[in-house]
Amino acid sequence: MKTFPDIKQSFRELIATPSISALEAKLDMSNQGVVTLLSQWLDDLGFDCQIHPVPNTRGKHNLLAKIGQGHGGLLLAGHTDTVPFDEGRWSQDPFTLTEKDDRWYGLGSCDMKGFFALVLEAVRQMPTQDFIRPLYILASADEETTMNGAKAFAQSKAIAPEYALIGEPTGLKPVYMHKGHLAQGIRITGRSGHSSDPAKGLNAIEIMHQVIGQLLKLKQHLAEHYREEAFSVPYPTMNFGHIHGGDAANRICGCCDLHLDIRPLPGLPLEVLEQLLTQYLAELSQRYPGAISISQLYPGSQPFAGQADAQWSQLVAELSNQAPEVVNYATEAPYIQQLGCQTLVWGPGSIEQAHQPDEYLDTAYINKTVDLLKHLIYHACIKTP
């Protein structure tokens, strides 16, 4: 076997390879460098690697690697992209691995390039020739924005593992359920004019006032009809995050924009939520023809629900010594689950470090995560039924 990088070197090279995802084209980057690195290393370990372009992206790719034969097995999944970093707020170069105070700092160290380095080390220490079921590794694109990588992979139905782990930073707690995310923009297009004669215009702020009234009714409906007590906030939430309209006190407002965020529970698909939004504004849309438009601010993410008492959930919980739990943030889990596998979100580090300046992974997670991964791979790929 060729000389293989140790954990720190693979961390260092992954972090040094920028792969920022952003909706704005000027900030967006390809993930080709990260995918190429991982493919080279996995090939050295004996994996069969396939790289596929992801539709509806700016040159992004998914990597799927497989080792072992047979049916079922385990999928270890993660995303190759990071969020943009805050210029001037990092204490060190975000693209240089910096070790300090028992922490490894760097953009993606926790969320979540570091997970791939730990997976590589776990596999390197295992007798892959003994695998009687396959081990898959998926490195996906654009999780931080559109999740188009995971969506495209789920639609391809290329594999059918029995189990899946998505290595987001959960503190090694198995996460079996999370909310979804829908971000919509509502624009009211009125008619501007002089404020001295309101009848000659159509005030967009006044119409938006009525729209907000209907949205508050929808918010109440969601709270009353959808509940899941496992969540700390056990109902779908709606937040009005941005509003802007008008340009002068003596002009009738001709345009008003509202941005809102809704976090649906499992059992409330985004399509149904969008239909409810349209339904609650239907009467106003008829009263003011052509004045109300609803648009997607950016692609949403479906809610995810597994089972806390499923075999996989219980095994991961037992080995990790952590009870299965639910979280409020969104991941690729609902799309990976479409492959038909028992799916969990589970990985090293804290979500509190994600998307923050001076992102880091506590080094206490390194050996522990490698050991746990080896146990989980053994159970899914080697252990006889």
Say if residue 288 is in the same domain as residue 270. yes
Q: How many domains in the chain?
A: 2
CA contacts within 13 A on the Cβ side of 76? 27
Say if residue 246 is in the same domain as residue 378. no
Residue 328 predicted with pLDDT over 90 = no
| Residue 51 token pair | 């790289």
Say if residue 168 is in the same domain as residue 229. no
Average pLDDT, the chain: 96
The CA distance from 201 to 364, in Å, is: 64
Q: Which of 275, 301, 327 is the last residue of a domain?
A: 301
Q: How confident is the model at residue 2 (pLDDT cuts 50, 70, 90)?
A: low
Residue 1 predicted with pLDDT over 60 = no
Bridge partners, residue 136, by sequence: 66, 75
Please compute the mean of the pLDDT values over residues 253-259 and round it to a whole number.
98
Say if residue 41 is in the same domain as residue 30. yes
Say if residue 262 is in the same domain as residue 153. no
Phi-psi region of 43 (alpha: psi -120 to 50; beta: other; left: phi over 0): alpha
Residue 265 lies in a domain: yes
CATH of the domain at 23: 3.40.630.10
Q: Which of 301, 334, 351 is the last residue of a domain?
A: 301
Residue 154 lies in a domain: yes
Do residues 292 and 211 make contact, with C-beta atoms less than 8 angstroms apart? yes
For 382, list phi and psi in degrees, rounded to 5.
Answer: -120, -45
Please compute the mean of the pLDDT values over residues 1-7 and round it to a whole number.
77
Please compute the mean of the pLDDT values over residues 147-154 and round it to a whole number.
97
Say if residue 222 is in the same domain as residue 203. yes
Residue 100 predicted with pLDDT over 70 = yes
The CA distance from 116 to 103, in Å, is: 17
Residue 1 lies in a domain: no
Say if residue 210 is in the same domain as residue 307. no
pLDDT at 227: 96
| HEC string for 353-377 | HCCCCCCEEECHHHHHHHHHHHHHH
What pTM does this model have? Answer: 0.93
CATH of the domain at 251: 3.30.70.360
Residue 2 lies in a domain: no
| HEC string for 40-105 | HHHHHCCCEEEEEECCCCCCCEEEEEEECCCCCCEEEEEECCECCCCCCCCCCCCCCCEEECCEEE
pLDDT digits (tens, 9 = 90+) for 218-233: 999 999 999 999 999 9
Say if residue 129 is in the same domain as residue 17. yes
Domain housing 294: 181-301
Please compute the mean of the pLDDT values over residues 326-345 and round it to a whole number.
96
Say if residue 93 is in the same domain as residue 186. no
Residue 127 lies in a domain: yes
Residue 132 lies in a domain: yes
Q: Which of 301, 329, 351 is the last residue of a domain?
A: 301
- Which residues are known to be catalytic? 81, 143
Q: Closest Cα partner for 99 from 81, 114, 120?
A: 114
pLDDT at 385: 79
Residue 25 predicted with pLDDT over 70 = yes
Q: How confident is the model at residue 151 (pLDDT cuts 50, 70, 90)?
A: very high
Say if residue 107 is in the same domain as residue 174. yes
Residue 157 lies in a domain: yes
